[in-house]
Amino acid sequence: MSPEKNEAGRPGQVKTVTSVSNPVIKDIRALVSQRKRRKEAGLFVAEGLKLVTDAMQAGWPIRTLVFGGEVRDQPMVSKAAATARARGALVLDVSRAVLTSITRRDNPQMVVGVFEQQWAVPGKIAAKDAALWIGLDEVRDPGNLGTIVRTADAVGADGVVLIGDTTDPFAVEAVRATMGSIFYVPLVRMSRPEFLKWRTRWPGVVVGTHLKGETDYRKADYSGPVLLLMGTEQSGLPEEMADACSQLVRIPQAGKADSLNLAVATAVMLFEIKRKTLEL
Ligand code: SAM
């Protein structure tokens, strides 16, 4: 039997893999490249030692840890591998070619983890007095979504609601852009009709951002629970979503740009909403 045929791998064990056609490696590649596969399996891939360590520290269930043989003796890698094994994950010590095939890069990350997706449920959203949630209507760009999750974490927001047909927060690019904040910021998903129904029970203000908003964002009332609603990159908030807001605000602009980038506009709003409570 060839060594590759011994590469089955059981949870809690360390196995060596050198073949890019190993079935476990093929499954991980599918998780990286196919949203459908991530959805079916309820899994996703985090690339890089920092993200993998952050996820495990935050208690996200790990299924598989993959590391390159050339970093096997680095203390942080051994520690991550020991933690993953103790949690029952399959641990794979692989060749550079295998990591290149997973990450689709010539200069691949040397550590990759497969984790279970975690979603918060709408019923569990507690709208305490200073609550701040961000609703993203049909956000398309994984970099924007990841940056918004990172900024939400930075200002201490309570979570992000993904409304309608959005990009996948568990795509490798989105996870990477969160810089680990995805492991700390609750994510909820809803269709537009579900959101519009849920919104009627929201006890505070619903602040929509709109290029036709009549209120300067610095003059709006952000007391009590705030639900901040941001529009999609292409066309902004559709009418039914804008109508669901208690106020529509605009960030004034000079110059020729017709709008701000979605993640930038979200950051401007979040720091304004938290201006009085964030301290050095
Ligand atoms: N062409 C789009 C439109 O007509 O709304 C531009 C969308 S913009 C790239 C993406 C989102 O960022 C907007 O839907 C809004 O939520 C927010 N945004 C961008 N610039 C803004 C501004 N100056 N004031 C308020 N919101 C803004």
Kindly report, residue by residue over 14-54, the tens digit of the pLDDT.
899 999 999 999 999 999 999 999 999 999 999 999 999 99
Asked if residue 136 has its Cβ within 6 Å of ligand 1, the reply is no
| Confidence at residue 2, expressed as pLDDT on a 0 to 100 scale | 38
CATH hierarchy code of domain 122-276: 3.40.1280.10
Q: Which atom of ligand 1 is nearest to the CA of 208?
A: 16
Asked if residue 200 has its Cβ within 6 Å of ligand 1, the reply is no
Which residues 6+ apart lie within 8 Å of 131 measured at CB?
Answer: 125, 158, 204, 225, 226
Residue 119 has pLDDT above 60, yes or no: yes
Asked if residue 268 has its Cβ within 6 Å of ligand 1, the reply is no
pLDDT 10s digits, 144-182: 999 999 999 999 999 999 999 999 999 999 999 999 999
d(CA 47, CA 71): 15
| Higher local confidence (pLDDT), 7 or 49 | 49
Give the residue, by CA position, lying nearest to ligand 1 atom 1: 235
Asked if residue 259 has its Cβ within 6 Å of ligand 1, the reply is yes
Asked if residue 260 has its Cβ within 6 Å of ligand 1, the reply is yes
What average pLDDT does range 116-136 have in this prediction? 87
Q: Give 1's pLDDT tier (boundaries 50, 70, 90).
A: very low
CA 126 to ligand 1 center in whole angstroms: 28
Average pLDDT taken over every residue of the chain: 94
CA 270 to ligand 1 center in whole angstroms: 14
| Confidence at residue 10, expressed as pLDDT on a 0 to 100 scale | 61
Provide the 8-state DSSP code for 60.
P
Which residues 6+ apart lie within 8 Å of 95 measured at CB?
Answer: 17, 18, 68, 69
Lowest-confidence segment of 120-124, 152-156, 161-165, 255-259 by average pLDDT:
120-124
Residue 8 has pLDDT above 70, yes or no: no
CA 267 to ligand 1 center in whole angstroms: 12
Q: Which atom of ligand 1 is nearest to the CA of 230?
A: 16
Asked if residue 209 has its Cβ within 6 Å of ligand 1, the reply is yes
| Confidence at residue 3, expressed as pLDDT on a 0 to 100 scale | 38
Q: Which two tokens stand for residue 1?
A: 């039997």
Q: Give 12's pLDDT tier (boundaries 50, 70, 90).
A: low
Residue 103 has pLDDT above 60, yes or no: yes
| Confidence at residue 97, expressed as pLDDT on a 0 to 100 scale | 95
Q: Give 11's pLDDT tier (boundaries 50, 70, 90).
A: low
Residue 79 has pLDDT above 70, yes or no: yes
Q: Which two tokens stand for residue 256?
A: 């020729």
Asked if residue 266 has its Cβ within 6 Å of ligand 1, the reply is no
Amino acid in position 160: V
**Which CATH code, of 3.40.1410.10, 3.30.830.10, 3.30.1330.30, 3.30.210.10, is assigned to 3-116?**
3.30.1330.30
- CA 267 from centre of chain: 16
Give the residue, by CA position, lying nearest to ligand 1 atom 22: 251
Domain boundaries of the chain, sorted by first residue:
3-116, 122-276
Closest CA to 57 of 28, 87, 91: 87
CA 258 to ligand 1 center in whole angstroms: 8
Q: How many CB atoms sit inside 10 A of residue 245's CB? A: 21
| Confidence at residue 130, expressed as pLDDT on a 0 to 100 scale | 78
Q: Give 9's pLDDT tier (boundaries 50, 70, 90).
A: low
d(CA 117, CA 114): 9
pTM of the predicted protein model: 0.94
| Higher local confidence (pLDDT), 232 or 106 | 232
Q: Give 265's pLDDT tier (boundaries 50, 70, 90).
A: very high
Q: Output the CA torsion 258→264→266→268 (10° steps).
A: -100
